Amino acid sequence: MKAYRIAWGVFSVAGLVAVFLLQRVDVAAWVGFGSSEISHFLFNRTLRFFLNDALTIGLIYALFEERKYVIFAIYVQLIGLVFFLLPYFVLKVYYPSYNGPLISFLHRLVLNPTLLMLLIPAFYYQKFAAPGGKK
């Protein structure tokens, strides 16, 4: 494995750990974004969504160094943006008292890079273990 790939992987993992450890920090207040609680909520969650996914895409690149895997991961991130982040915000903003299983499910998918992390074993299988893959 090349040194820059190791460095990129370490950076990605360290970034994911930092995002997790600093999840309670109100970044919106630091940068002066909006004054309402809801604008801070939306900004902070969106930032965390994109940071988690960008760092996970970096980890996928470091592990496999395949352009097609990175592009596919970006498509998955965009699908997550439309099908998970936006409905999560709609439920949190318009139905703040709703605390059922749907919001819990969306919360986990939005705040953790779950979908992209699931791609890692799939890409590994496709590249190394599948028939016709590298051995």
2-19, pLDDT tens digit by residue?
888 899 999 999 999 999
Q: Are 80 and 56 in contact (CB under 8 A)?
A: no
- Triad 18, 23, 28: Cα angle to 5°: 110
Buried b (16+ CB within 10 A) or exposed e, 63-81: bbeeeebeebbeebbeebe
CA-CA distance, 51 to 48, in Å (whole number)? 5
9-67, pLDDT tens digit by residue?
999 999 999 999 999 999 999 998 888 899 999 999 999 999 999 999 999 999 998 99
Q: What pTM does this model have?
A: 0.86
Alpha helices in the chain (DSSP H): 3-21, 27-31, 37-64, 67-80, 86-94, 101-111, 114-124
Q: Residue 135: which pLDDT band, with cuts at 50, 70 and 90?
A: low
CA-CA distance, 35 to 42, in Å (whole number)? 12
